[in-house]
Amino acid sequence: MRFLSLLAASALFFAAPALAEETLREQARAQFGAIPLVPPALPYAEASPERLTLGQKLFFDPRLSENQDMSCSTCHNIGMGGVDGRATGHGGQLGGRKVETVLNAAFNASQYWDGRASDLADQVQRSVMVFPAATLRTQGGPIMVTPTQVAATKQHVVDRLKGIPGYVAAFKAAFPAEPEPVTYDNIAKSIAVFEATLITPGAPFDRWLGGDDSAMTEDARQGLALFIGKGCAGCHSGVNFGGAGYAKFGAVQSPGADLLPTDDAGRFTITHVVQDKFVFKIPGLRNVELTAPYFHSDRVADLRQAIAVMGETQLGQKLSTEEIVKIEAFLTALTGKQPEVVLPILPPRSAR
């Protein structure tokens, strides 16, 4: 009997780590989920091969900008994690906020740091809204009539594309039921269809979530446990580890004017609700190791420093170096397979 009791105790001892890991995995499945292997369907922009092809061309075409020198890909560089690593806009002038990544953006509940766009197509549509130059720092976005961004009006973009025979044919193929297919609404839908394909499945975390115990390192697994246990997952939840809600930057203590410029009131500029001052959309953390510098103000270049800042400002906790290193290990396990996009051949201006 004594031998059998010892044997049972030994079995329980060796099973404990596996049980703990399985509990962590179930908790992670409930709070996050894996990036799907296929792009999500967009209820506001039906996909088709013709629309995808058209949207990809428009995404890379600088002729959508007034000076014909910037495209969507200028700021949303697919080869650099979907960002540009800079805070500058049209003409090299300060744009005010960090460019958000276009990768996995289809999983966000809203677009832009202030959430003024409800989806990818709305993001394109709203980006042509005319804002006074004085409000640019908080309102800036692409394809706007402003000195810091793409600076083209809706009708001017449409007229320019109508003057390109290849685009006229492409729009007719993409929207065959419409008598006048070259519209700004259809530009937005086409670009949204393409951007929805820019997903990054197959991250080590996703593989581990699916049952591959070797996909994440021990440090990464411990980092995940810390990420949940410390409270990070309270905001950074869902399949994109964020992008679904808003939070005040400095919920517990202010990060200081360097990281939180006082001339950018965040979501307040949209809602005009006092409680929304310095409230920003919670960014998704997928591929975060590729999207430095960090925060809406673009002021922190090091991921470990960003983790430390978030611990103090949002959670009121001074994380130890060991905790920061392990959380970083987990965050790097959120880097998925990057989209492989072939640069499209853009239609020439004339049929010559």
- Domain spans, the chain: 29-38+200-332, 49-195
DSSP β-bridge partners for residue 279: 248, 266
Q: Which of 253, 279, 246 is nearest to 108 (CA)?
A: 246
Q: What span, in angstroms and rounded, lies between the C-alpha atoms of 352 and 322?
A: 64
Asked whether residue 267 carries a pLDDT value surpassing 50, the answer given is yes
Beta bridge partners of residue 246, listed in sequence order: 281
Give the pLDDT of residue 127: 63
CATH of domain 49-195: 1.10.760.10
Nearest Cα to 28, choosing from 238, 202, 197? 238
Domains 29-38+200-332 and 49-195 share a fold: yes
Q: Are 226 and 327 in contact (CB under 8 A)?
A: yes
Q: Which residues pair with 83 in a beta bridge?
A: 77
The per-residue pLDDT for 131 is 33
Using alpha carbons, select from 261, 253, 265 the residue that is nearest to residue 309.
253
Answer whether residue 344 shows pLDDT above 90.
yes
For 234-265, write each residue's pLDDT tens digit: 999 999 999 999 999 999 999 999 999 998 99
Q: Three-class SS of residue 152? A: coil
Confidence at residue 139, expressed as pLDDT on a 0 to 100 scale:
38
pLDDT digit string, tens, across residues 19-65:
588 899 999 999 999 999 999 999 999 999 999 999 999 999 999 88
What's the CA gap between 54 and 292, in Å, rounded? 30
- The pLDDT confidence band at residue 103, using thresholds 50, 70 and 90, is very high
- What mean pLDDT do residues 170-198 have? 96
Question: At 86, which amino acid appears?
Answer: R
State both tokens at 262: 């006082």
Is CATH 3.40.50.1970 the right assignment for the domain spanning 29-38+200-332?
A: no
pLDDT tens track for 277-323: 999 999 999 999 999 999 999 899 999 999 999 999 999 999 999 99
Instruction: Tell me what percent of the residues of the chain surpass a pLDDT of 70.
Output: 84
Please state the length of the chain.
352
- The partner residues of 281 in beta bridges, in order of sequence, read 246
Residue type, 224: L
d(CA 72, CA 124) in angstroms, rounded, equals 10
Tell me how crowded residue 271 is: count the other CB atoms within 10 A of its CB: 16
Q: What is the pLDDT of residue 206?
A: 98
- Looking at residue 18, its pLDDT comes to 56
pLDDT digits (tens, 9 = 90+) for 126-135: 764 333 333 3
Q: Residue 351: what pLDDT?
A: 52
DSSP state of 68: S
> Which residues pair with residue 280 across a beta bridge?
247
3-state DSSP assignment of residue 268: helix
